[in-house]
Amino acid sequence: MSKLVKIQGLEKSFGKVQALKNVSFDVGPGEVVGFIGPNGAGKSTTIRILLGIIKRDAGSAEIFGKDVWRDSFEIHKRISYVPGDVSLWGSLTGGEIIDLFMKLHGSGNREKRDYLIERFELDPRKKSKGYSKGNRQKVGLIAALAVESDLYIFDEPTSGLDPLMEQVFQEEVEKIKKEDKSILLSSHILSEVERLADRVVIIRQGEIVESGNLDELRHLTRSRVVLETEGDVSKMLEVNGVHDFIQRENQGIFSADHEHLNDILIEASRLKVKKFEVAPPTLEDLFMRHYQG
Amino acid sequence: MKEKFARWHILLLQYFKRDWKKIFIWILALGLFSAGFIPAFEEMAKGDGLIGMYETLRNPAMVSIVGPTPIKEASKYTLGAMYSHEMLLFSGLFAMIISILHVIGHTRKEEDLGLTELVRSFQVGRQANSLAVIVETIFINLILALFIGVIMISFSADGITTLGAFLFGFAIAIAGIIGAAIGILMAQIMPISSAATGSSLGIMGLLYLIRGGTDISNIKLSMLNPLGWVYLTYPFTENNWLTIIFGLIFSLVIMILALSLEGRRDMGAGYLPERQGRANAKKTLLSIPGLFIKLNKGTIISWLIAFPVLGAAYGAIYGDMETFLESNEMMKQMFTYSGISIEESFTSTIIMVMVLLVAILPIAIVNKLFSEERNLNLSQIHGTKVRRSQLYWTNIFLAGLVSIIGLGLAVGGLGGAALSVMKSTTMNIVDFLVAGYNLLPSILFFIGLAGLVLGWIPNLRKILYIYLSYSFFVNYFAGILNLPKIVINTSPISWLPKMPIESFKFKNFAIITIVSIGLTLLGYWGYKRRDMVEGA
Ligand SMILES: Nc1ncnc2c1ncn2[C@@H]1O[C@H](COP(=O)(O)OP(=O)(O)O)[C@@H](O)[C@H]1O
Ligand SMILES: [Mg+2]
Q: Which tens digit of pLDDT belongs to each residue from B81-93?
A: 999 998 999 999 9
ipTM over 0.90: no
Helix (H) or strand (E) holding A151: strand A151-155
Yes or no: say if B207 and B225 are a contact pair by the CB < 8 Å rule.
yes
Nearest CA to ligand 1 atom 2: B536
Q: Exposed e or buried b for every residue in A169-201, given b needs 16+ CB within 10 A?
A: bbebbeebbeeebbbbbbbbebebbeebbbbbb
Residue-averaged pLDDT of chain A: 89
Please report the pLDDT score of residue A1 as a whole number.
53
pLDDT surpasses 70 at B322: no
Distance CA B370, CA B194 (A): 22
Nearest CA to ligand 1 atom 25: A40
Helix (H) or strand (E) holding B393: helix B388-421
Distance CA A271, CA B224 (A): 89
Distance CA A239, CA A264 (A): 6
Please report the pLDDT score of residue A218 as a whole number.
64
Question: What does the pLDDT look like over B217-256, one tens digit per residue?
Answer: 889 999 999 999 999 999 999 999 999 999 999 999 999 9
Edge-to-edge strands of the sheet including A251-257? A242-248, A251-257, A222-229, A273-279
Question: What does the pLDDT look like over A33-76, one tens digit per residue?
Answer: 999 998 899 999 999 999 999 999 999 999 999 999 999 999 99
Distance CA A168, CA A170 (A): 5
Nearest CA to ligand 1 atom 5: A14
pLDDT surpasses 90 at B112: no
Task: With H, G, I as helix, E, B as strand and everything else as coil, classify residue B78.
Answer: coil
Burial degree of A18 (CB within 10 A; 0-12, 13-18, 19+): middle
Question: What does the pLDDT look like over B474-503, one tens digit per residue?
Answer: 887 776 677 788 888 999 999 999 888 889
- Which residue in B314, B336, B340, B315 sits closest to B325, CA to CA? B336
Rounded to the nearest 5°, which phi and psi values hold at A151? -135, 130
Please report the pLDDT score of residue A241 as a whole number.
85
Between vectors from CA B274 to CA B284 and to CA B289, what angle results, nearest 5°?
15
State which residue of chain A sits closest to B274, comparing Cα positions.
Answer: A126
Positive or negative, the CA dihedral B384, B388, B394, B395 is positive
Task: With H, G, I as helix, E, B as strand and everything else as coil, classify residue B460.
Answer: helix
| Cβ–Cβ contact B280 with A under 8 A | yes
User: Helix/strand/coil (H, E, C) string of A268-290?
Assistant: HHHCCEEEEEEECCCHHHHHHHH
- Nearest ligand 1 atom, CA A156: 21
Across B26-48, average pLDDT: 89
Residue type, A118: E
Distance CA A262, CA B307 (A): 81
User: What is the number of the ligand closest to the CA of A204?
Assistant: 1
Across B109-131, average pLDDT: 77
Pick from B280, B295, B386: which is nearest to A95 by CB? B280
Across B265-272, average pLDDT: 73
- Please check whether the two domains, A5-217 and A221-291, share a CATH topology: no
CA-to-CA dists, residue B469 to A200, B215, B265, B357, B435, angstroms: 56, 33, 47, 10, 21
Which sequence spans correspond to the domains of chain A? 5-217, 221-291
CA-to-CA dists, residue B391 to A13, B287, B522, angstroms: 26, 10, 15
Q: How far is the CA of B374 from the centre of ligand 1 (A)?
A: 14
Pick from A54, A87, A125: which is nearest to B377 by CB? A87
CB within 8 A of B35, min separation 6: which ones?
A: B147, B148, B149, B151, B152, B165, B168, B169
| Cβ–Cβ contact B293 with A under 8 A | no
Q: Which residues of A touch B384 (CB under 8 A)?
A: 76, 101, 104-106
Read off the pTM.
0.76
Q: How confident is the model at residue A291 (pLDDT cuts 50, 70, 90)?
A: low
Please report the pLDDT score of residue B331 as a whole number.
67
Yes or no: say if B368 and B451 are a contact pair by the CB < 8 Å rule.
no
Q: Give the residues surrounding ligand 1 with Cβ less than 6 Å away.
A: A 14, 17, 19, 37, 39-45; B 536
- Report the number of secondary-structure helices (H) and strands (E) in chain B: 24, 0
Q: How confident is the model at residue B424 (pLDDT cuts 50, 70, 90)?
A: confident
Between vectors from CA A112 to CA A107 and to CA A118, what angle results, nearest 5°?
140
Distance CA A258, CA A242 (A): 10
Nearest CA to ligand 1 atom 12: A19
Contact B385 A48 (CB under 8 A): no
* β-strand partners of A60: A8
Q: How far is the CA of A222 from the centre of ligand 1 (A)?
A: 30
**Best residue in B285, B292, B369, B380 for a mutation probing chain A (most A CBs within 10 Å):** B380
Q: How confident is the model at residue B209 (pLDDT cuts 50, 70, 90)?
A: confident
Cite the beta strand spans of A1-102 per DSSP E.
Answer: 5-14, 17-27, 32-36, 58-63, 66-67, 79-82
Distance CA A141, CA A154 (A): 8
Residue type, B128: A
Domain A221-291 sits in CATH at 3.30.70.250
State which residue of chain A sits closest to B288, comparing Cα positions.
Answer: A104
CATH of A5-217, one of 2.40.30.30, 3.30.1600.10, 3.40.50.300, 3.30.9.10: 3.40.50.300
Q: How confident is the model at residue B16 (pLDDT cuts 50, 70, 90)?
A: very high
Contact A95 B278 (CB under 8 A): yes
A 148-187 residues inside an 8 A Cβ radius of B: 153
Please report the pLDDT score of residue A292 as a whole number.
61
Q: How far is the CA of A85 from the centre of ligand 2 (A)?
A: 8
Q: Cα-Cα-Cα-Cα dihedral of A239, A245, A251, A255, to 10°?
A: -80
Helix (H) or strand (E) holding B11: helix B8-35
Pick from B277, B291, B387: which is nearest to A100 by CB? B291
Pick from A77, A95, A101: which is nearest to B380 by CB? A101
* β-strand partners of A18: A13
User: What is the number of the ligand closest to the CA of B534?
Assistant: 1
State which residue of chain A sits closest to B112, comparing Cα positions.
Answer: A130
CB–CB contacts below 8 A, A to B: 114
